[in-house]
Structure 1
Amino acid sequence: MTRDDRPVWEDRGPWRPGGRTPGEAPRVIVIGAGIGGLSTGCYAQMSGAETRIFERHVLPGGCCTAWARQDYVFDYCIEWLTGTGRNNDASRVWRELGALDGKTIANFEMFNTVTDETGRSVTFYNDPDRLEAHLLELSPGDARPIRAFCRDLRRFTRINLYPFLTPPPLQSAGEKLAALRAVLPSFALLWRTAVTRMESFCERFEDPLLRRAFPFIFFQDHEVFPLLPYLFNMASAYHLNAGFPQGGSLGLARSVEERYTALGGRVDYRARVERILVENDRAVGVELRGGERHFADHVVSACDGVTTIERLLGGRYSSPKIDKLFKEMMTTGPDVLYPGVVSVFVGLDGELDPAARHSTTYLLSDEDSAALPGVLQKSLVVQMRSRYSDGFAPPGKSVVHCTYFSDYESWKKLRTTDRKAYWARKQEAADFVRAFLERHHPGIGASIEVVDVASPTTTERYTGVRGGSILGWKSFTPADDVITGLINKDRMRLPGLDGFSLAGQWFGGGSLIRAAASGRFVTQYLCRELGLDFRAWESGGTVPWHPDRLGRLPQLESRRVR
Structure 2
Amino acid sequence: MTAEPRVIVVGAGVAGLATGCYAQMSGLSTSIFEKHVLPGGCCTAWSRKGYIFDYCIEWLIGTAEGNDAHQIWRELGALDGKSIRNFEMFNRVVDEHGRAVTFYTDPDRLEQHLLELSPADAASIRSFCNDLRRFVRLDLYPFLKPAPLQSVREKLGLLRAVLPALRLFWRNAATPMNRFSAQLHDPLLRRAFPNIFFQDPQDFPLMPYLFNLAAAHNRNAGFPQGGSLGLARSIEERYTALGGQIHYRSAVQRILVSQGRATGVELRDGTRHHAEHVVSACDGRTTLGRLLEGRFSSPRTDRLYQDLLHRPGTLYPGVVSAFVGVKGDVSADSAHSTTYLLSAGDAARLPGALQKSLVVQLRSRYSDGFAPPGRSVIHCTYFSDYSFWKSLRTTDRAAYRARKREVAAFVREFLDRRHPGLGERIDLVDVASPVTTERYTGNFHGSILAWKGFDEAEDVTGRMVNRDRMRLPGLSGFSMAGQWVAGGGLIRAASSGRFAAQYLCAELGVPFRAWESTGTRPWTPDRLGRLPQLERWYERERNQS
TM class, shorter-length: over 0.9
2:469 corresponds to which residue?
Answer: 491
2:206 corresponds to which residue?
Answer: 227
2:341 pairs with 1:363: yes
1:397 corresponds to which residue?
Answer: 375
SS of the residue 2:381 aligns to: strand
Aligned positions of 1:266-345 closer than 5 A: 266-334=245-313, 336-345=314-323
2:506 pairs with 1:528: yes
Question: Using the alignment, how far apart are the partners of 2:203 and 2:33 within structure 1?
Answer: 35
SS of the residue 1:422 aligns to: helix
- Segments of 5+ residues of structure 2 without an aligned counterpart are none
From 247, 251, 255, the counterpart of 2:226? 247
SS of the residue 2:537 aligns to: coil
- Residue 531 of structure 1, CA deviation: 2.1
Aligned positions of 1:160-239 closer than 5 A: 160-239=139-218
One-letter code aligned to 2:437: T
SS of the residue 1:231 aligns to: helix
Question: Using the alignment, how far apart are the partners of 2:383 and 2:325 within structure 1?
Answer: 21
1:117 corresponds to which residue?
Answer: 96
Q: Which moved more, 1:122-131 or 1:521-530?
A: 521-530
1:304-353 alpha-carbon deviations (Å, 9 max, x no partner) = 1111000000000000100111110011122x111110000000111221
- Residue 103 of structure 1, CA deviation: 0.3
One-letter code aligned to 1:168: A
SS of the residue 1:189 aligns to: helix
Question: Using the alignment, how far apart are the partners of 1:379 and 1:540 within structure 2?
Answer: 43
- Segments of 5+ residues of structure 1 without an aligned counterpart are 1-19
From 37, 41, 44, the counterpart of 1:62? 41
1:258-296 alpha-carbon deviations (Å, 9 max, x no partner) = 000000001000000000000100001000011111110
1:434-479 alpha-carbon deviations (Å, 9 max, x no partner) = 0000000000011111110000000011111110000100000100
- Residue 528 of structure 1, CA deviation: 1.4
1:238-266 alpha-carbon deviations (Å, 9 max, x no partner) = 00000000000000000000000000001
Question: Using the alignment, how far apart are the partners of 1:496 and 1:191 within structure 2?
Answer: 38
2:361 corresponds to which residue?
Answer: 383
1:83 corresponds to which residue?
Answer: 62
One-letter code aligned to 1:128: P
SS of the residue 2:373 aligns to: coil
2:26 corresponds to which residue?
Answer: 47
1:512 corresponds to which residue?
Answer: 490
From 430, 445, 465, the counterpart of 2:408? 430
Question: Using the alignment, how far apart are the partners of 2:79 and 2:486 within structure 1?
Answer: 22
One-letter code aligned to 1:220: Q
1:535-555 alpha-carbon deviations (Å, 9 max, x no partner) = 111102111100000000000
Question: Using the alignment, how far apart are the partners of 2:125 and 2:505 within structure 1?
Answer: 49
Question: Using the alignment, how far apart are the partners of 1:255 and 1:98 within structure 2?
Answer: 6
One-letter code aligned to 2:511: D
1:155-185 alpha-carbon deviations (Å, 9 max, x no partner) = 1011000010000000011111110111011
One-letter code aligned to 1:353: S
SS of the residue 1:243 aligns to: strand
TM-score, length-normalised on structure 2?
A: 0.98
Question: Using the alignment, how far apart are the partners of 2:195 and 2:403 within structure 1?
Answer: 26
From 124, 129, 132, the counterpart of 1:145? 124
Residue identity over aligned pairs, in percent, reads 69
Question: Using the alignment, how far apart are the partners of 2:207 and 2:518 within structure 1?
Answer: 33
2:431 pairs with 1:464: no
Question: Using the alignment, how far apart are the partners of 2:519 and 2:195 within structure 1?
Answer: 37
2:525 pairs with 1:555: no
Runs of 4+ in 1 over 3 A off after TM superposition: none
1:26 corresponds to which residue?
Answer: 5
TM-score, length-normalised on structure 1?
A: 0.95
From 136, 154, 161, the counterpart of 2:133? 154
- Residue 233 of structure 1, CA deviation: 0.5
- Residue 204 of structure 1, CA deviation: 2.1
From 401, 421, 425, the counterpart of 1:447? 425
SS of the residue 2:46 aligns to: strand
1:365-397 alpha-carbon deviations (Å, 9 max, x no partner) = 000011111111100000000000001001110
2:25 pairs with 1:38: no
- Residue 300 of structure 1, CA deviation: 0.2
- Residue 508 of structure 1, CA deviation: 1.1
1:6 corresponds to which residue?
Answer: none
- Residue 224 of structure 1, CA deviation: 1.5
Question: Using the alignment, how far apart are the partners of 2:437 and 2:170 within structure 1?
Answer: 36
Question: Using the alignment, how far apart are the partners of 2:102 and 2:86 within structure 1?
Answer: 15
Question: Using the alignment, how far apart are the partners of 2:311 and 2:251 within structure 1?
Answer: 30
Question: Using the alignment, how far apart are the partners of 1:203 and 1:398 within structure 2?
Answer: 38
1:134 corresponds to which residue?
Answer: 113
Question: Using the alignment, how far apart are the partners of 2:415 and 2:478 within structure 1?
Answer: 49
One-letter code aligned to 2:131: D
Question: Using the alignment, how far apart are the partners of 1:390 and 1:452 within structure 2?
Answer: 20
SS of the residue 1:29 aligns to: strand
- Residue 522 of structure 1, CA deviation: 0.8
Question: Using the alignment, how far apart are the partners of 1:352 and 1:388 within structure 2?
Answer: 14
One-letter code aligned to 2:346: D
Question: Using the alignment, how far apart are the partners of 1:27 and 1:355 within structure 2?
Answer: 54
One-letter code aligned to 2:481: A
- Residue 559 of structure 1, CA deviation: 1.1
- Residue 530 of structure 1, CA deviation: 1.9
Question: Using the alignment, how far apart are the partners of 2:200 and 2:22 within structure 1?
Answer: 35
